[in-house]
């Protein structure tokens, strides 16, 4: 590998392998780059390194003391051992210290199964503990907001304190007392209440010391299915993981993407998931009040659209994926043109995360406002995503609703329409007059993409099974467009995206493959942040 050497790189030996990394890379990061994981608690890539957990110490040939690999940078010619007898003995020793006062209450701890203490001790800990002494008891504390503190489980890595200080820049946590009596505590009566990014400390806590009240005892970590997704709560589009048990979303966790959200997400987005578990769903295709199969429904609809004489108007919302929007736009073009309006909730002012300037809770509280704008849809309605549809409500031509359940209008919505098509996930009284009610899947149940505030197109994957015979909106719209144009219908989200990318310069040249798990901006190289 030495032929890769440049003035800006260093080459050193790690566990017998020669490694070349950029100058200034720590040993820990260099090891990660070749797949060697050095156990650590206090180090987190998004925070400063205090080098205090003493778990990541490695042996460096010729050095009198072991070196903290999270802090020590690789130097030319250095010979480092992460797995020498000394290094292993050190880790086993430190892990024993961690257990001296740990309550070992894994059976009732929410972190169990995704706990770094459990994992490390299982890998390298002593087989039997030697501690005979009574354990120190610090007890529990309500830190406010969603955060519950269990002091006895704490490994005192201070990631939470440093997150609040360095990233949230809202210093509400500190270490009080010293030595073995040291404990994390809040400064004020309100604790973390109202701090918009405090939930992240639960994610970065390597053990079960900081746990979510919302998730408390809801599910075991190993029972959760994890699906990469995009947060639908604002136009930032934080990369997230849907964590699902029994087809119910249990919690959302941020997923690393250095170009969008780092390792973080806001509490507003984190806790806005209950609606994904709504049960008042449209389940089967209905044509003029009759349950029918999909083939019949689509056949009838196609004929009805061909027969319709009057002008077409459509409404959607900013929760619709690009594929749905793009094919809706395509359908209207085939039907002789017509305006699409959309509605989206909005709030005053952003909520930035000072320590990670790319991230802010944006003013638009829906994931795909940018997509709707790209397709030339006109925004209507107020900041609560209400009103603005009076003209459509009384439209006497073809009326197409995609996604938006329009819960703020009454039963007479669309009563004058020549043809009213409702493609929605939820039952709604405004669908009463619809000639066609076609059940579509939610973002959590399908594959698709959103375009975030930066113009970045990001993929999400299905994490929840859809009810009965709901289908993705793009599949239905794509079939209609294909029939009208005599082309091949898209049978995957990938193909649906390719179809719209052909006609939309903003998506020019992007494919699902380019997007990968971290998205891309058209015209810019695909995301390069680490996996």
Partner 1 sequence: MAYPYTHEKEVRILSKHFGEPEARTVEGWKARGGYQTLTKAFEMGRDAIINEVKASGLRGRGGAGFPAGVKWSFMPKEKTRPHYLLCNADESEPGTFKDRELLRWTPHQLIEGMIISAYAIQAEECYVYCRGEFFETTAVLAKAVEDAYEAGYLGQNILGSGVNVDITVHCGGGAYICGEETALMNSLEGRRGTPRVKPPFPAQAGYMMMPSTVNNVETLSSVPFIIQEGADAYRANGTEESPGTKLFCVSGHVRRPGNYELPLGFPLMELIEDVCGGMREGRKLKGVIPGGSSVPILNAEECADCEMSFEGVIEAGSQLGCAAVIVMDDSTDMVQAVRRMVDFYTHESCGQCTPCREGSSWTGKILKRIEEGRGTEEDLDTLMEVTSQMEGTTICVLSDSVAAPVQSSILKYREEYLARIRTGEKVGAAS
Q: Kindly list the residues in this chain that would bind partner 1 in the complex (CB under 8 A).
A: 50-55, 57, 64-66, 68, 71, 90, 93-94, 96-98, 100-101, 130-134, 136, 155-156, 175, 177-182
Instruction: Give the nearer residue to partner 1 in terms of CB position, either 60 or 231.
Output: 60
Between 102 and 456, name the residue whose CB sits nearer to partner 1.
102
H/E stretch holding 228 reads strand 225-230
Question: Minimum CB separation from partner 1 for residue 191, in Å?
Answer: 20
For partner 1, the closer CB: 66 or 476: 66
When the beta carbons of 136 and 245 are compared against partner 1, the nearer one is 136
Distances (CA, A) of 151 to 102, 116, 339: 9, 16, 58
Q: Between 52 and 248, whose beta carbon lies closer to partner 1?
A: 52
Find the shortest distance in angstroms from Cβ 502 to partner 1: 56
The DSSP output letter for 218 is T
Min CB(388)–partner 1 separation in Å:
54
Measured from the Cβ of residue 218, the count of other Cβ atoms closer than 10 Å reads 15
User: Backbone phi, then psi, for 385, in 5-degree steps?
Assistant: 65, 40
Angle between helices 85-100 and 116-124 (to 10 degrees): 130
Instruction: Give the shortest CB-63-to-partner 1 separation in angstroms.
Output: 11
Is residue 462 within 8 A of residue 227, CB to CB? The reply is yes
Nearer residue to partner 1 within complex by CB, 70 or 249:
70
Nearer to partner 1, 183 or 374 (CB): 183
CB of 57 within 8 A of CB of 103?
no
Shortest Å, Cβ 67 to partner 1: 10
Q: What is the C-alpha to C-alpha distance for residues 313 and 340, in angstroms, rounded to an integer?
A: 6
DSSP 399-433: EEEEE---TTS-TTTTTT-SEEEEEESB--GGGTT
Instruction: Check if the beta carbon of residue 57 is closer than 8 Å to that of residue 38.
Output: no
Least separation, in Å, of the C-beta of 8 and partner 1?
A: 21
- Residue closer to partner 1 by CB (options 105, 502) is 105
Which CB, 133 or 531, lies closer to partner 1? 133
Taking alpha carbons only, the member of 234, 262, 237 closest to residue 168 is 262
Question: Whole-number minimum distance, CB 154 to partner 1, in Å?
Answer: 11
155: Cβ contacts below 8 Å, ≥ 6 apart: 41, 53, 98, 117, 206, 207, 209
User: To the nearest whole angstrom, how small is the minimum distance from the Cβ of residue 387 to partner 1?
Assistant: 54
Q: How far is the CB of 514 from partner 1 (least distance, A)?
A: 42
- If we measure between CA atoms, which residue out of 136, 147, 148, 54 comes closest to residue 103? 136
Question: Least CB distance from residue 188 to partner 1, whole Å?
Answer: 18
Return the ∠ at Cα 5 (arms to 14 and 32), rounded to 5°. 35
Q: Is 368 exposed, middle or buried (0-12, 13-18, 19+ CB in 10 A)?
A: buried
Long-range contacts of 168-172 (CB under 8 A, 24+ apart): 168/195, 168/197, 168/198, 168/200, 168/353, 168/354, 168/355, 169/354, 169/355, 170/195, 170/197, 170/198, 172/198
Rounded to an integer, what distance in angstroms lies between the CA atom of residue 151 and that of residue 374? 50
Name the nearest CA neighbour of 265 among 356, 349, 174, 346.
356
Q: For residue 184, give the H/E element and its range.
A: strand 183-186
Tokens read off for 160 = 């939470």
The nearest distance, CB 178 to partner 1, in angstroms, is: 5
End-to-end CA distance of the chain: 22
| Residue whose CB is less far from partner 1, 132 or 513 | 132
Comparing CB distances to partner 1, the nearer of 59 and 324 is: 59
Task: Give min distance, CB of 65 to partner 1, in A.
Answer: 5
| Cross-strand partners of 390 | none
Q: Which is nearer to partner 1, 97 or 122 (CB)?
A: 97
């Amino acid at each position: 590998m030495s032929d890769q050497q440049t003035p800006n790189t260093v080459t050193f030996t790690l566990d017998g392998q020669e490694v070349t990394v950029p100058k200034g890379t720590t040993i820990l990061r260099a090891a990660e780059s070749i797949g060697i994981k050095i156990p650590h608690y206090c180090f987190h890539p998004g925070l400063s390194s205090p080098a205090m957990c003493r778990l990541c110490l490695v042996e460096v040939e010729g050095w009198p003391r072991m070196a903290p690999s999270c802090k020590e940078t690789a130097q030319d010619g250095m010979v480092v051992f992460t797995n020498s007898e000394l290094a292993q003995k050190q880790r086993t020793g430190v892990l024993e210290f961690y257990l001296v006062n740990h309550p070992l209450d894994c059976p009732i701890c929410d972190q169990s199964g995704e706990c770094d203490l459990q994992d490390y001790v299982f890998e390298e800990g002593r087989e039997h503990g030697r501690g005979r002494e009574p354990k120190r008891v610090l007890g529990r504390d309500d830190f406010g907001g969603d955060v519950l503190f269990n002091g006895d489980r704490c490994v005192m890595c201070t990631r939470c304190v440093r997150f609040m200080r360095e990233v949230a820049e809202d210093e509400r946590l500190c270490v009080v007392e010293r030595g073995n009596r040291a404990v994390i505590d809040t400064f004020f009566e309100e604790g973390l209440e109202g701090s918009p990014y405090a939930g992240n400390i639960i994610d970065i806590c390597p053990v079960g010391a900081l746990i979510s009240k919302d998730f408390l005892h809801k599910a075991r970590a190993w029972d959760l299915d994890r699906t990469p997704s995009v947060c639908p709560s604002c136009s930032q589009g934080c990369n997230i993981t849907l964590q699902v048990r029994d087809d119910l979303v249990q919690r959302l966790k941020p997923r690393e993407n250095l170009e969008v959200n780092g390792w973080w997400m806001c509490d507003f987005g984190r806790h806005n998931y209950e609606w994904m578990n709504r049960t008042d769903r449209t389940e089967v295709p209905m044509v003029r009040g009759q349950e029918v199969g999909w083939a019949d429904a689509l056949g009838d609809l196609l004929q009805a659209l061909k027969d319709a004489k009057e002008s077409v108007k459509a409404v959607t919302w900013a929760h619709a994926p690009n594929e749905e929007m793009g094919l809706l736009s395509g359908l209207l073009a085939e039907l002789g043109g017509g305006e699409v309006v959309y509605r989206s909730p909005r709030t005053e002012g952003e909520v930035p995360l000072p320590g990670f300037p790319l991230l802010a809770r944006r003013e638009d509280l829906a994931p795909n406002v940018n997509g709707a704008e790209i397709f030339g849809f006109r925004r209507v309605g107020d900041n609560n995503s209400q009103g603005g549809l009076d003209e459509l409500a009384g439209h006497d031509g073809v009326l197409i609703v995609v996604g938006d359940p329009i819960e703020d209008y009454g039963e007479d919505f669309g009563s004058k329409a020549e043809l009213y098509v409702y493609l929605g996930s939820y039952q709604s009284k405004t669908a009463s007059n619809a000639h066609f009610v076609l059940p579509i899947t939610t973002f959590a149940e399908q594959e698709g993409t959103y375009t975030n505030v930066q113009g970045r197109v990001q993929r999400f994957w299905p994490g929840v099974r859809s009810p009965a015979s709901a289908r993705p909106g793009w599949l239905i719209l794509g079939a209609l467009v294909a029939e009208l144009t005599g082309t091949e219908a898209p049978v995957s989200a990938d193909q649906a995206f390719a179809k719209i990318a052909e006609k939309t310069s903003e998506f020019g040249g992007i494919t699902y493959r380019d997007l990968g798990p971290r998205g891309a901006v058209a015209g810019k190289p695909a995301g390069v942040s680490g996996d």
